[in-house]
Amino acid sequence: MIERELTVSNRLGLHARATAKLVQLLSAYRSTTTLTAKGREVNAKSIMGVMLLAAGQGTQVKLRVEGEDEDATAEAVCALFERRFDEDS
Amino acid sequence: MSVGILLITHEGIGSAILAVATRLLRTLPLRTEVLEVPFEGDPDALLPLASAALRRVDGGQGVLVLTDLYGATPSNLAAKVARLGTPVRRVSALSLPMLLRVMNYAEEDLDELPMVAGAGARNGVIVDEA
């Protein structure tokens, strides 16, 4: 299992488009992936799940990945967060 | 092969929901069309249009028809197109969370998708007391 601390740094936070992008990215991977923020853990492959976090800019989230392709999954998610979901450009 | 999606709704509902879903997901994994029923629309007169839309989205695996309000004219029209021969399953209370969840489970077959749609709509209701 891999755990990473991430920060939501794009201006709009984990809004619908960013969430859809995350979920679509994860659909290519097999690992079980969750995000935890504000004491709530959600399935990172579910749009409504991630939207439930209502995570605005600056929110700390914990990524947890478990499965055969967990390294690649964690790397892809971290890269997406670091790229600010390709927003703010 | 995958299931086709047909939204049969009141005026302004289906096209707006489809437009937002398309903006959020960029490309929809399932072939999707909208048929909006005008307030003065006659379901019998609209049946050929609905039938044509149904055939366009059907890739051979059947069509999931989503309507906005159970018992209203659009959903009565959906009941009629379900009897034309193409395998059809119908779910009412179309919402953005419902459509997004269906698209997120695009590989499911026609027998599974009604439950996926229903869960999407139910999970989308959050009584926000935070």
pLDDT tens profile B20-57: 999 999 999 999 999 999 998 888 899 999 999 999 99
User: Does A15 participate in catalysis according to the annotation?
Assistant: yes
Q: Which residue of B has its CA nearest to A15?
A: B24
Q: What is the pTM of this model?
A: 0.88
CA proximity to B75, closest of B56, B94, B100: B94
Q: Which residues of A touch B27 (CB under 8 A)?
A: none
Q: pLDDT band at B66, cuts 50/70/90?
A: very high
Nearest to A47 among B23, B100, B130 (CB): B100
B100 in A contact zone (CB under 8 Å)? yes
Size of interface A-B (CB pairs under 8 A): 24
Task: Render the burial of B17-56: b for 16+ CB within 10 Å, e for the rest.
Answer: bbeebeebbeebbbebbbbbbeeebebeebeeebbebbee
The single residue of A8, A15, A22, A64 carrying the catalytic annotation is A15
Fill in the DSSP letter of residue A85: G
Separation of CA A72 from chain center:
14
Chain B from 20 to 39: CB within 8 A of any A CB: 23-25
Res B129: pLDDT: 79
Q: Which residues of B touch A20 (CB under 8 A)?
A: 24-25, 100
pLDDT in tens, A26-73: 999 999 999 999 999 999 999 999 999 999 999 999 999 999 999 999
Chain B from 66 to 95: CB within 8 A of any A CB: none
ipTM of the complex as predicted? 0.77
Chain A from 1 to 60: CB within 8 A of any B CB: 16-17, 20, 23-24, 27, 45-48, 52, 54
Q: Which residues of A touch B100 (CB under 8 A)?
A: 20, 47-48
Q: How far is it, in rounded angstroms, from Cα B30 to Cα B105?
A: 10
CA proximity to B21, closest of B113, B108, B117: B117
